[in-house]
C-alpha cells in the first residue's frame, strides 16, 4: 500500500470542524481512499500495521452503535490495540472526574482517546490538559466532526463518479439539510465542513428547529421543503430527535411527516439526480421513507462504509502529527 503522507497535518486532536481550514479538511478526505482500499482488499486481509502497538480507547458516555463500531473497526484495521469503556462501566459512576479517569488511562499509556459525551466541550477540556490524541465522537449539540467528514467524503465521491472527473470537488454543490438543525451536532459540523469546501448549504425544517441566526454561518434557511429541494444535488435528512418532542419545540410527528419527510412525493420537488443521505439511526418512515432509504438514490450504506476509512485516516494523521498544538 502507498503510504499516506501526513505532512500537511499538524493538529494533536480532532475536536471540531470549526477549527479546521479547507486544506486540513481536504488532507483528511484525500487520505481516506487508501484506507477504503484496505477494507476492500480482494485478499480478505483488511489490515495495515500503521498503528501496531498503539492503544486506542473508545470512551462512550452516550449510546451509539454505528459510530462506536466504526471507530473500533478503524482502529483494528490499523492494527492498534483497542479498549472500550462506557459511562456505566467506568468509575464515573463512583464520582470520578473525566480528568481523573483519563489520567489513569494515560498512566497505562494510551495513544488515542475517542470520546462521546453529552456535554458540549468535554473533548476540548480533556485535550487541553492531556497528552493523548483526543477525537470528538459527538459532544452534546456541539460537533460530530468525523460524521461531517464522512458525509463530505461520500458527497465528493458521488460527484466524482457521476462527473467522471476523479478530482472533482464540492465547489458549487448544493446541499439541503432537512429537519432538526437546532439540536443537531451533525448539522453544525456539516455546515462548517460543506461551506469550507465551497458547497452551497440550505437548511430547512420547522421554524422552532432552525437556529435563529443560522445565516451567519453562511447558509440559506427556509421552512419550505419545496424551496430547499428545488436545486439540491444532495438531500441530507437529519434524525427526528423524538426525545425532544415533549419540550414543546417540536410540532407533532404527523405534521412533521406531512411537511418535511423525504419520500417519493417530496423528492418530486428535487432534481432527478439528487442523492439522499442520513447519519443514522434512521426513524424509518418518519424523517425518511423506507422506499427512499433503501432505494437507488440513497447513499446511506455508502456513508457507513466510508466512515471506517475516514476514521482510519483521522487516527493515522493524528498519531503521526508533526506538531503537538
The smaller minimum CB distance to ligand NCD, of residues 186 and 292, is found at 186
Judge whether 239 and 278 are in contact, CB under 8 Å: yes
Hey, how many other C-beta atoms are within 10 angstroms of the C-beta on 48? Answer: 20
H-state helical runs in 200-249: 225-229
The smaller minimum CB distance to ligand NCD, of residues 57 and 186, is found at 186
The smaller minimum CB distance to ligand NCD, of residues 150 and 292, is found at 150
The smaller minimum CB distance to ligand NCD, of residues 9 and 256, is found at 256
H-state helical runs in the chain: 22-39, 66-77, 98-107, 122-129, 145-163, 185-196, 225-229, 253-260, 290-293, 300-319
Least Å from the CB of residue 24 to ligand NCD: 21
Grouping H, G, I as helix, E, B as strand and the rest as coil, residue 149 is helix
308-322 burial, b for 16+ CB within 10 Å, e for fewer?
bbbbbbbbbbbbebe
The smaller minimum CB distance to ligand NCD, of residues 230 and 283, is found at 283
**Residue number closest to ligand NCD, CB atom:** 239
Least Å from the CB of residue 66 to ligand NCD: 5
Q: Measure the CA–CA gap between 240 and 68, rounded to whole angstroms.
A: 21
Sites of contact with ligand NCD (CB under 6 A): 66-67, 138, 144, 147, 185-186, 239, 279-280
Least Å from the CB of residue 228 to ligand NCD: 19
Least Å from the CB of residue 139 to ligand NCD: 10
Least Å from the CB of residue 67 to ligand NCD: 4
Amino acid at each position: 500500500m502507498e503510504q499516506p503522507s501526513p505532512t500537511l497535518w499538524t493538529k494533536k486532536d480532532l475536536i471540531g470542524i470549526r477549527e479546521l481550514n479547507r486544506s486540513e479538511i481536504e488532507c483528511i478526505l484525500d487520505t481516506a481512499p487508501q484506507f477504503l482500499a484496505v477494507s476492500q482488499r480482494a485478499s480478505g486481509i483488511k489490515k495495515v500495521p500503521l498503528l501496531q502497538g498503539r492503544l486506542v480507547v473508545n470512551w462512550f458516555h452516550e449510546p451509539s452503535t454505528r459510530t462506536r463500531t466504526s471507530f473500533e473497526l478503524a482502529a483494528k484495521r490499523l492494527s492498534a490495540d483497542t479498549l472500550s469503556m462506557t459511562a456505566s462501566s467506568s468509575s464515573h459512576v463512583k464520582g470520578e472526574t473525566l480528568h481523573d479517569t483519563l489520567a489513569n488511562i494515560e498512566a497505562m499509556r494510551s495513544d488515542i482517546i475517542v470520546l462521546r459525551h453529552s456535554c458540549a466541550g468535554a473533548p476540548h477540556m480533556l485535550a487541553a490538559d492531556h497528552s493523548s490524541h483526543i477525537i470528538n465522537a459527538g459532544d452534546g449539540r456541539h460537533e460530530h466532526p468525523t460524521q461531517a467528514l464522512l458525509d463530505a467524503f461520500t458527497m465528493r465521491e458521488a460527484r466524482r463518479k457521476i462527473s467522471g472527473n476523479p478530482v472533482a470537488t464540492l465547489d458549487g454543490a448544493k446541499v439541503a439539510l432537512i429537519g432538526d438543525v437546532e439540536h443537531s451536532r451533525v448539522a453544525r459540523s456539516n455546515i462548517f465542513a460543506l461551506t469550507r469546501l465551497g458547497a452551497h448549504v440550505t437548511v430547512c425544517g420547522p421554524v422552532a428547529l432552525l437556529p435563529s441566526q443560522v445565516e451567519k454561518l453562511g447558509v440559506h434557511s427556509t421552512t419550505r421543503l419545496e424551496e430547499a429541494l428545488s436545486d439540491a444535488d444532495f438531500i441530507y435528512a437529519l434524525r427526528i430527535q423524538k426525545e425532544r418532542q415533549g419540550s414543546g419545540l417540536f410540532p407533532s410527528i404527523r405534521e412533521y411527516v406531512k411537511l418535511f419527510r423525504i419520500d417519493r412525493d417530496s423528492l418530486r420537488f428535487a432534481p432527478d439526480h439528487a442523492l439522499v443521505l442520513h447519519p443514522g439511526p434512521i426513524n424509518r418512515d418518519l424523517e425518511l421513507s423506507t422506499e427512499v432509504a433503501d432505494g437507488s438514490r440513497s447513499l446511506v450504506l455508502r456513508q457507513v462504509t466510508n466512515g471506517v476509512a475516514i476514521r482510519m485516516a483521522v487516527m493515522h494523521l493524528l498519531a503521526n502529527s508533526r506538531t503537538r498544538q
